[in-house]
Chains A and B, each alone.
Chain A
Amino acid sequence: MFDLDKWQEITAALKKNKLRTILTGLGVMFGILILVTLLGIGRGFQNNIQSSLGNFATNSTVFWVEKTTKAYKGLPRNRSYQFTNDDLEVLKRSIPELQDIAPDINGWSGNATNNTFREDKKGNFRIKGTSPEMNNVNPVEVTAGRFINQNDLKEFRKVITIGPRVQELMFEKDEDPIGQYLKVNGIYFRIIGTIKPLSRNMGMRDDVLQMPFTTLQQLYNQGDKFRVFLATAKVGESVADLEDKIFEILARRHSIHPDDRQAIGNFNIAKMFNKIFGLFNSIGFLFWVIGFGVLLTGIIGVSNIMHVVVKERTKELGIKRAIGARPREVVGQIINEAVFLTTFAGFWGLVLGVLIVEGIGKMTEGDPNPQILNPYVDINVAFIALGVLVLFGVLAGLLPAQRAIRIKPVDALRYE
């Protein structure tokens, strides 16, 4: 396969027109480079959105209290109300399509002053009331100990799970936080688990402190009331239908006019997910289109240079044919050059593209709120791109090569 003569032919031909060769090579190189970089960054975008959505249940909906906008059953409009723990029980009992329902209660964060203390350490953390159901909707990963269970809820236990940032700030590296106590808003809580958020939705962050939502209600004198809850539909059930049923029952229980949809805030998260995924696909598609366009420009450049090179070397090819070069050898030589040029330039474009994408990855690594997360080049995609390029390199060489052997040797020899 490797043949010093072929090699010499290739390099001599390409060297003869250094500037044009370099420019064409750069065209191909940038084509691959831009394609690879775009795809890598696109992947980074996608990773970022996916990680912020995390394992958040996609078939979910969120409800929150608003004020009534219609008078009903002798009650005035513009009336406030709150959901109750009994609502949860009733909804669970009466809607078979309902998979999980979980109040989302945020604790007082201390107005940006420190709300959590331990020995000489202090910090300002995000306090959330949670439940085992919540962990199905907006899940966390338990890294040590356990998550909050039904008994914790029933008995209003003063137990918490802590996020990684809390552990980092409140404990030394070699300390085991499980079983230790934190003083949160003046009350001591026992740590039963350490967790890591699997999404960044609904205020979930690394600096979270989770306690049973019943404990949170009691400590903040909220009785059995809450203002926001999340619900998921069973697999295959429509989230919109679920929303209708939940609204109907809640409206009845809180004396809300059956047409007063504005009295209960509601957002279909499933719909938003679908929109985001749609966006993904169109961004990905756009990147492919741009990358491919740039690549195509490079290929046109190669075929252009091959055209010129063949034309300039008509006489040389004529000499070779006079002394015995067969059409196969003439065509082969030209294609070798085209393939060499595209592969060589494409390879460096690939290498540079991978380096750039890795550089972007390094730069965004420490960013707590990144736009791009773990961008990387799918090596398969990169090689497919390179393969396409080489294929087009062959085609780019083929046309001028055909022309080179179509003319008679005598005409080629006469060409100046």
Chain B
Amino acid sequence: MIRLQNIHKSYITGTNKLHVLKGIDLHIKEGELVSIMGSSGSGKSTLLNILGLLDNHDEGVYTLNQEEIKAMSETKAAKLRNNLLGFVFQSFNLISFKNAMENVALPLYYQKVARKKRNKTALEYLDKMGLKDWAEHMPNELSGGQKQRVAIARSIITQPKIILADEPTGALDSATSVEVMNLLKEINQSGITVIIVTHENDIAHMTDRIINLKDGRIESIIENNKINSKETIRVPQE
């Protein structure tokens, strides 16, 4: 599903050049539930944004769904993001002047789905999230957990192949975090590849595979069963 070979990324701020990703090699198979871990500033979001076509890499080969991602038009990228990918953000990123249902339905708007039909679909997805009664509520009337569930519904309404979640539980209390993680696990069980960026150990431990980033390089990759059998080489301590 996702294959990265020697991916580099630098940011240029003024005269400084910050080398953030220093040669990432990674293979994520279809249907995996993966977490990317690392301390703050280690390049997790940068990596996820490149995977999500929100940013471009400087060097290396990125193959997404058997297609090499090179410099492409923004129109093409938007289409891929819409059909293939779903995003969940730490800060939810709901549109403030649209109610929950309209927020969930928005990706279908860009697929030219008729209003009635996409609102109906949005209601179904909200129902799955246990939020049917909140469909008409505006984002500022929802709790953090509710907002994130709306965002998750929005990310899966187009039935994408991959969900990219950047610290999805970062703004939530631990009980809600577990709820959200269970939702993401459920989504994964339906066959969708899920990639979660986190710096929380217990969140990472709920995934099949942990990719540890340090200083722009993959320090270690740990399989879930090895985590549990304590054959771990090293798990970063926060």
Tell me, yes or no, whether A binds B. yes
Residues of chain A at the chain B interface (Cβ within 8 Å): 4-5, 8, 12, 16, 315-316, 319-329, 405, 408-410, 413
Name which residue of chain A comes closest to B49, CB basis.
Answer: A410
Q: Is the CB of A408 within 8 A of B106?
A: no
Q: Is the CB of B109 within 8 A of A327?
A: no
Q: Is the CB of B97 within 8 A of A323?
A: no
Given contacts A323-B82, A324-B158, A327-B75, 15 further A-B contacts (CB under 8 A): A12-B98, A316-B95, A319-B93, A319-B94, A320-B106, A321-B78, A322-B54, A322-B93, A323-B87, A323-B107, A405-B74, A408-B55, A409-B55, A413-B54, A413-B93
Of B56, B75, B96, which contacts A326 at CB under 8 A?
B75
Q: Counting CB contacts under 8 A, is B182 at the interface?
A: no
Q: Give the chain B neighbours of A316 by CB distance below 8 A.
A: 95-96
Q: Is the CB of A327 within 8 A of B93?
A: no
Q: A16-B97, A329-B110, A413-B93 are in contact. Are A324 and B82 (CB under 8 A)?
A: yes
Q: Which of B55, B79, B93 counts the most A-chain CB atoms under 10 A from its CB?
A: B93
Q: Give the chain A neighbours of B78 by CB distance below 8 A.
A: 321, 324-327
Q: Is the CB of B74 within 8 A of A5?
A: no
Q: Counting CB contacts under 8 A, is B216 at the interface?
A: no
Q: Is the CB of B81 within 8 A of A5?
A: no
Q: Give the chain A neighbours of B110 by CB distance below 8 A.
A: 320, 323-326, 329
Q: Is the CB of B54 within 8 A of A408?
A: yes
Q: A319-B95, A320-B106 are in contact. Are A326 and B74 (CB under 8 A)?
A: yes
Report Cα–Cα, A8/B87, bound state, in Å.
Answer: 24
List, sorted by A's number, 14 A–B pairs whose CB atoms are closer than 8 Å. A5-B109, A315-B93, A316-B95, A322-B52, A323-B106, A323-B110, A324-B78, A324-B107, A324-B110, A326-B75, A327-B78, A328-B75, A405-B74, A413-B89
A10 to chain B minimum Cβ distance, whole angstroms, is 11
Q: Counting CB contacts under 8 A, is B70 at the interface?
A: no
A135 to chain B minimum Cβ distance, whole angstroms, is 73
Q: Give the chain B neighbours of A12 by CB distance below 8 A.
A: 97-98
B34-70 residues at the A interface, CB under 8 angstroms: 49, 52-56
Report Cα–Cα, A315/B98, bound state, in Å.
Answer: 15
Q: Which of B56, B74, B94, B106 counts the most A-chain CB atoms under 10 A from its CB?
A: B74
Q: Is the CB of A324 within 8 A of B97?
A: no
| Total A-B Cβ pairs within 8 A | 66
Report Cα–Cα, A327/B110, bound state, in Å.
Answer: 11
B89 to chain A minimum Cβ distance, whole angstroms, is 8
Q: Counting CB contacts under 8 A, is B189 at the interface?
A: no
Report Cα–Cα, A8/B95, bound state, in Å.
Answer: 12
Report Cα–Cα, A324/B160, bound state, in Å.
Answer: 12
Q: Give the chain B neighbours of A413 by CB distance below 8 A.
A: 54, 89, 93
The size bracket of the interface on B is 20 to 34
Report Cα–Cα, A12/B74, bound state, in Å.
Answer: 26
Report Cα–Cα, A316/B110, bound state, in Å.
Answer: 15
Report Cα–Cα, A345/B106, bound state, in Å.
Answer: 30
Name which residue of chain B comes closest to A12, CB basis.
Answer: B97
Q: Counting CB contacts under 8 A, is B111 at the interface?
A: yes
Q: Give the chain A neighbours of B83 by CB distance below 8 A.
A: 324
B118 to chain A minimum Cβ distance, whole angstroms, is 10
Q: Give the chain B neighbours of A8 by CB distance below 8 A.
A: 97-98
B194 to chain A minimum Cβ distance, whole angstroms, is 17
Report Cα–Cα, A8/B138, bound state, in Å.
Answer: 14
Name which residue of chain A comes closest to B155, CB basis.
Answer: A323
Q: Counting CB contacts under 8 A, is B115 at the interface?
A: yes
Q: A408-B55, A410-B49 are in contact. Are A324 and B79 (CB under 8 A)?
A: yes
Q: Give the chain B neighbours of A319 by CB distance below 8 A.
A: 93-95
Q: Give the chain B neighbours of A4 by CB distance below 8 A.
A: 115
B47 to chain A minimum Cβ distance, whole angstroms, is 12
Q: Is the CB of A322 within 8 A of B75?
A: no
Q: Is the CB of B82 within 8 A of A409?
A: no
Q: Give the chain B neighbours of A405 by CB distance below 8 A.
A: 74
Q: Is the CB of B87 within 8 A of A327?
A: no
A296 to chain B minimum Cβ distance, whole angstroms, is 32
The 8 A-B residue pairs with the shortest CB-CB distance, nearest first, are A324-B82, A324-B110, A12-B97, A410-B54, A410-B55, A326-B78, A409-B54, A323-B107
Q: Give the chain B neighbours of A329 by CB distance below 8 A.
A: 110
Q: Counting CB contacts under 8 A, is B154 at the interface?
A: yes
Report Cα–Cα, A16/B82, bound state, in Å.
Answer: 27
Report Cα–Cα, A410/B11, bound state, in Å.
Answer: 13
Report Cα–Cα, A113/B95, bound state, in Å.
Answer: 84
Q: Is the CB of B81 within 8 A of A322?
A: yes
Of B56, B98, B115, which contacts A408 at CB under 8 A?
B56
Q: Give the chain A neighbours of B52 by CB distance below 8 A.
A: 322
Report Cα–Cα, A35/B70, bound state, in Å.
Answer: 53
B101 to chain A minimum Cβ distance, whole angstroms, is 13
Report Cα–Cα, A272/B49, bound state, in Å.
Answer: 77
Report Cα–Cα, A258/B55, bound state, in Å.
Answer: 96
Q: Is the CB of B74 within 8 A of A327?
A: yes
B75 to chain A minimum Cβ distance, whole angstroms, is 5
Q: Give the chain B neighbours of A410 by CB distance below 8 A.
A: 49, 54-55
Q: Give the chain B neighbours of A409 by CB distance below 8 A.
A: 53-55
